Structure 1
Amino acid sequence: MENETTETSTSGCAALRALRRLWSMRSSLNLLGTTLDVTTGEWIEYSSGIGAGVDSFYEYLFKAHILFGKEDFWRMFHSAYLAVQKYFRHGPWYHEADMRNGKATYWQLTSLQAFWPGLQVLVGDIAAANSSHREFVHVWKKFGVLPERYLLDHLMLHPTEKYYPLRPELAESTFYLYQATKDPWYLEVGESIVNSLNSYTKVDGGFASIRDVTTMQLEDHQHSFFLAETCKYLYLLFDDSFLVDRNYVFTTEGHPLPVLSSWHDRLPEAYIPRNWTFLPSEKQARRASAMTLQVCPATSLDCRHRCQQVKSACHIPDARSDHRCFGDEECGVDATTCRRRTCSMAGYCGLWLFI
């Protein structure tokens, strides 16, 4: 047991060192690439995003803070998160950009990006998480499953990556959003995912990956992450008794790690003040994510006495409080960018790619 504990501790320290080393290789914009030359230590691929090649970095950066209560990991994640929102985000979607100059490179949805709303839930940015999650769900319903790659600038599937390998990311984010909100709509989403899996992927002896989502042609293959993650998150969505009176953080492979009290005791002082902004209201303080309190240029948040949001003069609210819409005329002007909002293909107002 002693050797096992020592080995685990050594592995954990190595992982933390790796996170710090990767962060030291960021660009001046606080962005990272997706592929490194392990011999030279130089970036090979400068186009970056929140999907393949970099997704686990963002996830572990924040979860390292939760597990160990180290303030520097929160500062690193906060800087990285703001950079993602600035250079990758376009409405509810996240395109890819050059890590060196922030210019957009690929306008595409990838299935691995679907983990991001779940991470945003942990951060406390529920509104942004819900916005992106809705659009992923819309694409799922459009094809029956979530394709590996969808070209946002052409509104079409990638010609060679039409497959669905039973990935768990959308189920994972659905689980986190339900835990945070207890909104029964997320249970409906989970039920839709389960029904799709049973209808399109179930075979004798297991579940098969889909080779082409346009024909639902199957492959003779089932990845291990389907049982380790996809099924696990769907199960916990409907029966979370495993989580009652327990404090866990799930790894990117879906393994639950206990948050020990000796690590977690520091979190109320080290984490909450920087993660949340308290807004005064008539009845009581309303907790709102600091990440979402972005207002138009030349305005600010004055927190010297109490935090108060300075509203943008250009802001025009959407016609409906739930941001649903049937046409662009029902959408207002965004308070963050002062840009006109439009109605998405899923029927929600936002800053979308196309009108």
Structure 2
Amino acid sequence: MRSLSVRGAAALLLALTGSSAVAAPHQSRAAPRYVTNRQRADAVKDAFQVSWDGYYKYAFPHDSLRPVTNGYADDRNGWGASAVDAFSTALVMGKWDVVGQILAYVPTINFDNTTDSVSLFETTIRYLGGLLAAHDLITGPLSDNVSKTANVTAILTQAKRLADNLKVAFNTTSGVPDNNLYFNPPRRGGSDTNGIATIGTLVLEWTRLSDLTGDPQYGALAQKGESYLLSPSPALGQPFPGLLGTNVRLSDGQFVDGNGGWGGGDDSFYEYLIKMYLYDPQRFAKYRDRWVAAADSSIKYLASHPTTRPDLTYLAMWQNTTLRFTSQHLACFNGGNFILGGLTLDEPRYTRFGLALVDGCHDTYTSTATGIGPEIFSWQDASLVPLNAPNNPGPPAAQAAFYNASGFWIDNGAYVLRPEVLESYYYAYRATGDPKYQDWAWAAFQAINATCRVGSGYSDIKDVNKPGGGGFDDFQESFWFAEVLKYSYLIHAEDAPWQVKADHTNQFVFNTEAHPIRVAGGQERA
């Protein structure tokens, strides 16, 4: 999940201030051989249970656990974000007691009631995505494991109820949604602009809701907002082919800047382009073409190799056409996205490039004192920009030795229970079957388990390059359940219908919160 409310990351981002279509694949390819490691998978399930027990005892039905003080936070409108985010993970893990607790809770959520500002983006990926995934799993491959009760029916009813409250966001002159809302009654927050991630990371969930309910309005709303990103204007909004600026005016859908990257504020727009094509290649061929354009430009213009570790590959950020050699833990989903694109389009060059990005993000984990990667990191590039140019400074003196060894230096050492590196390990393993990615995921999980486990659950930490993580922030993110624990489990678990496939037999596609959404069939096309 690429959350935009990142402590420290937003401030840094503000400071930094033609491709051909690929034919739809039809033939199957042989799947790699996967190896189940039940001992590791069970260890992850144990961590899930510890996290759930602490949340359920001290925080439920509030949003998030404060594990150090055994308190709670209502950071996502008080609708039980951790419960809904945990739903699909409990299902794929077969945690039936937890499934029962969440299933009993879902019909009681009052999505009409909140006094806080509502994020269209966060609410869509966590709540709407979580409900739709649970519905797709329970009515699909897990239909024999969960009794058909009124509570199961209520999952989709509640998803529709939530979307009906959220759709006021699209009441703008252009159809570009306002990300900031209020309920009681539902109304826009009055923003002038919105970002491409918060516009472009709605279309999977809202289209799926239309396909399941037979009501085309939901998908049409999200697709209208997306249309301005698929055909960006003016020219400043697309400094490289397929690579966009960040902010769009709500009044007319026009871009107001040319600054961007594969990190927070932009990331999941690119992620969803290829995922929408995987969801339904007939309806979303243009999304494929836009992903290809972005991927090709990223390889051509953004691929960067640190001066001290030219074996590593990262993607630079951009300010118009000026590159910035800075990246984020958030951006480390990019390896997995390139791999998925390569598998989906039968283009091995995208898969190979994705694997190179995975290697780079792996280095951010193995280089630190805790074995966990930092929130924000930077490097120098000698091939794309002159050394020590204003946009290519060297490392701080205190980190010169670290940069010489690791190929990056740390700008923000926090770890907020992020999943993106594990996510890319998962895609790398599902593409190749190479057990080294299982070993990398296991090492990362062990490091996180050793460093972030505290009190009644797991907590954000302050500094990955200090022994013990430099202290706790006393917060267990809801996406810890949805993403970190799910990817850590699935990479070691047996094959299943919801697993990513390398042979064109995908039955599900993960939303950006790692909620598995069933791909569309012809009868579901709205």
Aligned position for 2:333: 115
CA separation of 1:223 and 1:195: change in aligned 2, threshold 3 A: same
- C-alpha displacement at 1:10, in angstroms? 2.7
- For residues 266-293 of structure 1, the C-alpha deviation after alignment (integer angstroms, 9 at most, x for no partner) is xxxxxxxxxxxxxxxxxxxxxxxxxxxx
Q: Is the 1:37–1:44 Cα contact (8 Å) retained in structure 2?
A: yes
Q: Does 1:16 align with 2:16?
A: no
CA separation of 1:111 and 1:45: change in aligned 2, threshold 3 A: farther
For residues 166 and 192 of structure 1, what CA distance do their matches in structure 2 show? 15
The equivalences for 1:324-339 within 5 A come to none
Q: Is the 2:214–2:524 Cα contact (8 Å) retained in structure 1?
A: no
Aligned position for 2:360: 135
For residues 215 and 424 of structure 2, what CA distance do their matches in structure 1 show? 28
Q: Is the 1:168–1:230 Cα contact (8 Å) retained in structure 2?
A: yes
Which structure carries more helix by proportion?
A: 2
For residues 8 and 136 of structure 1, what CA distance do their matches in structure 2 show? 41
CA separation of 1:8 and 1:81: change in aligned 2, threshold 3 A: farther
Letter in 2 for 1:57: F
Q: Is the 2:239–2:258 Cα contact (8 Å) retained in structure 1?
A: no
- C-alpha displacement at 1:46, in angstroms? 2.9
Aligned position for 2:301: 87
Q: Does 1:261 align with 2:479?
A: no
Tell me the matched-pair count.
261
Letter in 2 for 1:95: A
Q: Is the 1:88–1:95 Cα contact (8 Å) retained in structure 2?
A: yes
Structure 2 residue corresponding to 1:182, chosen from 413, 428, 433: 433
For residues 509 and 294 of structure 2, what CA distance do their matches in structure 1 show? 20
Aligned position for 2:377: 150
Aligned position for 2:259: 47
Say which SS state the counterpart of residue 332 (structure 2) adopts: helix
- C-alpha displacement at 1:192, in angstroms? 0.4
The equivalences for 1:91-240 within 5 A come to 91=305, 92-99=313-320, 102-104=321-323, 106-124=324-342, 125-143=350-368, 144-153=371-380, 154=395, 155=403, 157-159=409-411, 161-215=412-466, 216=469, 217-240=471-494
Q: Is the 1:68–1:263 Cα contact (8 Å) retained in structure 2?
A: no
Q: Is the 1:34–1:53 Cα contact (8 Å) retained in structure 2?
A: yes
CA separation of 1:188 and 1:263: change in aligned 2, threshold 3 A: farther
Say which SS state the counterpart of residue 496 (structure 2) adopts: helix
For residues 140 and 65 of structure 1, what CA distance do their matches in structure 2 show? 32
CA separation of 1:240 and 1:36: change in aligned 2, threshold 3 A: farther
- C-alpha displacement at 1:197, in angstroms? 0.9
CA separation of 1:209 and 1:71: change in aligned 2, threshold 3 A: same
Structure 1 residue corresponding to 2:240, chosen from 24, 29, 53: 29
Letter in 1 for 2:352: A
For residues 215 and 291 of structure 2, what CA distance do their matches in structure 1 show? 24
Q: Is the 1:146–1:164 Cα contact (8 Å) retained in structure 2?
A: yes
- C-alpha displacement at 1:164, in angstroms? 0.7
CA separation of 1:193 and 1:120: change in aligned 2, threshold 3 A: same
- C-alpha displacement at 1:189, in angstroms? 0.4
Q: Does 1:61 align with 2:61?
A: no
Q: Is the 1:29–1:83 Cα contact (8 Å) retained in structure 2?
A: yes
- C-alpha displacement at 1:240, in angstroms? 3.9
- For residues 50-100 of structure 1, the C-alpha deviation after alignment (integer angstroms, 9 at most, x for no partner) is 11111111111111111121322211221122122222212411111134x
Letter in 1 for 2:325: W
Say which SS state the counterpart of residue 212 (structure 1) adopts: coil
Letter in 2 for 1:115: F
For residues 151 and 122 of structure 1, what CA distance do their matches in structure 2 show? 26
Letter in 1 for 2:520: L
Q: Is the 1:49–1:84 Cα contact (8 Å) retained in structure 2?
A: no
- C-alpha displacement at 1:22, in angstroms? 1.4
Say which SS state the counterpart of residue 238 (structure 1) adopts: coil
Q: Is the 1:16–1:64 Cα contact (8 Å) retained in structure 2?
A: no
For residues 8 and 56 of structure 1, what CA distance do their matches in structure 2 show? 25
- C-alpha displacement at 1:16, in angstroms? 2.4
- C-alpha displacement at 1:253, in angstroms? 1.0
Structure 2 residue corresponding to 1:73, chosen from 287, 312, 329: 287
For residues 334 and 246 of structure 2, what CA distance do their matches in structure 1 show? 16
For residues 113 and 157 of structure 1, what CA distance do their matches in structure 2 show? 16
Say which SS state the counterpart of residue 97 (structure 1) adopts: strand
Q: Is the 1:133–1:173 Cα contact (8 Å) retained in structure 2?
A: yes
For residues 494 and 222 of structure 2, what CA distance do their matches in structure 1 show? 29
Long gaps (5+) in structure 2: 1-152, 161-211, 306-312, 343-349, 381-394, 396-402, 500-504
CA separation of 1:207 and 1:39: change in aligned 2, threshold 3 A: farther
For residues 231 and 515 of structure 2, what CA distance do their matches in structure 1 show? 28
- C-alpha displacement at 1:38, in angstroms? 3.8
- C-alpha displacement at 1:211, in angstroms? 1.2
For residues 244 and 314 of structure 2, what CA distance do their matches in structure 1 show? 19
For residues 113 and 195 of structure 1, what CA distance do their matches in structure 2 show? 22
Aligned position for 2:387: none
Which structure carries more strand by proportion?
A: 1
- C-alpha displacement at 1:182, in angstroms? 0.5
Identity of aligned residues (%): 26
Say which SS state the counterpart of residue 52 (structure 1) adopts: coil
Say which SS state the counterpart of residue 133 (structure 1) adopts: helix
**Bigger relative contact order (CA 8 A; separation at least 6):** 2
RMSD value, Cα: 2.5
Letter in 2 for 1:139: T
- C-alpha displacement at 1:11, in angstroms? 2.3
